[in-house]
Structure 1
């Protein structure tokens, strides 16, 4: 069952890469005591993810901060090396924290996973965005397959 408003962010191990290497962190730690916008994408470097979804959040980082958002986090079912390379390719800098859900454990715990095995992509994360306050989901936008509308940075900003 998919996450709904009022749910707590589940505990799952996520990973990220920085100049000191690969680190793992429990998802709950990323959200406790903070206001966070989390968005999920089906895959790093995928066309819509690279041309619209991620760039929208990068370009809107200051606007989110002005509305009280402490962090913006992007999650995808890719490894930390891929997420780091995508971050560099998209010139993300410190605007968005790029986290890896390599085994889709977090996507599954959220109930936002889907099977893309037919074209050879394995289990993936649905496209979504959510506002999380102190670990609790306050706003949630889950896209229908193939769509990109309600999970955009613009839509989330308008909802704040």
Structure 2
């Protein structure tokens, strides 16, 4: 299981590394933020679950990791980005949304059990659930992972961007 912070930090850090070392800062930091926030989007189904539960008892499994944890959502945003490639800002915006959502799906497949990536066409689940496989206690691991990711990213930002005024 990964925390919400992990779903934000991983795409944010990866987009930032890409921006700093590969794209050589050819796009604004705003797009890095977009990737991070988009990394949380698939878990909007938890809010939907809470709303549905106000009216009737619905099991979390009937909602979570169903509609919003499908490969078709990041592919749709990627398609929009490709269709708008002449408008660089729009293409980057939708591309980063696609990247953030895709990163969320990868994290869930690796650590959080299973997703049905081709839902509603197929309900065949995929997932490695590496924590269980490796015998790692899921209770504390997500919190430690978040701390390590955040500390590593802040150190990188401190060194690379000289953010001394903010620390």
Normalising by structure 1, we get a TM-score of: 0.29
> Which of the two has greater strand per residue?
1
Larger radius of gyration: 2
Normalising by structure 2, we get a TM-score of: 0.28
Structure with the larger RCO, 1 or 2 (CA within 8 Å, 6+ apart) = 1
> Which of the two has greater helix per residue?
2
